[in-house]
Amino acid sequence: MDNCDWCSLSEEDRRFQLYETGSWSVFLSDEQDYIGRCILVLKRHCSSLSELTDDEWGELRDLICKIEVCLKTVLGAALCNWSCLMNSFYKDPAPDPHLHIHVRPRYDKPVVLGGNAYTDGEFGHHYALNKSGAIPVEDKEEVFGRLKGWLDRFPFAEE
Ligand SMILES: [Zn+2]
């Protein structure tokens, strides 16, 4: 799709790409309201989960397993909140969504990055919608490095 941002990601957009499979890319989100928050983006233009092929579903299942283990192992997440929303595309009178899935790791104890401790004050409840997602760039780099390091060491092929 010519006018789809997700179909034409720049090198800069891919700066925080953590991982990819044949069908999916995984990025560390700009918003780090929950430390380690990521977004899984389907590589082809497709509007809904119901239009995924069997192969794409299979890869997504393996990817969800991989990302959950990574977030629990590397950052100490207690669980992950997965969501496929797409609401913002429907503000357009002619919506043409590009399938993507958010994952917010949830924590029953603080995540410490550098000298900063990040607390999940809503643990046990729905994730907050208006929490600041801004963290210092060095903390974001540390999260990225830790997650990517783990994912690079444990790619699918070694399972
Ligand atoms: Zn697209």
| pLDDT 10s digits, 69-113 | 999 999 999 999 999 999 999 999 999 999 999 999 999 999 999
Token representation of residue 137: 């760039």
The Cα 159–Cα 129 span in angstroms is 36
Q: How far is the CA of 53 from the centre of ligand 1 (A)?
A: 16
For residue 156, is pLDDT > 80?
no
Domain tally for the chain? 1
Beta bridge partners of 141: none
What residue numbers bound the domain in which 125 lies? 5-158
For tokens 């490095």, the residue is 145
Q: How far apart are the CA of 29 and the centre of ligand 1, in A?
A: 18
- Cα(83) to ligand 1 centroid in Å equals 18
Q: What is the pLDDT of residues 105-155, one digit of tens each?
A: 999 999 999 899 999 999 999 999 999 999 999 999 999 999 999 999 986
pLDDT at residue 1, rounded to an integer: 57
As given in the structure block, the two tokens for residue 124 are 């046990």
Cα 150 to ligand 1 centroid, rounded to whole Å:
29
Give residue 154's pLDDT.
Answer: 81
Note the residue count of the chain.
159
Alpha helices, H only, 84-156: 137-153
Closest by CA to 68, choosing from 101, 114, 113, is 101
pLDDT in the model for residue 3: 83
CATH number for 138: 3.30.428.10
Distance 15 CA to ligand 1 centre (A): 19
Global pTM value? 0.94
Contact residues for 20 (Cβ-Cβ < 8 A; gap 6+):
26, 43
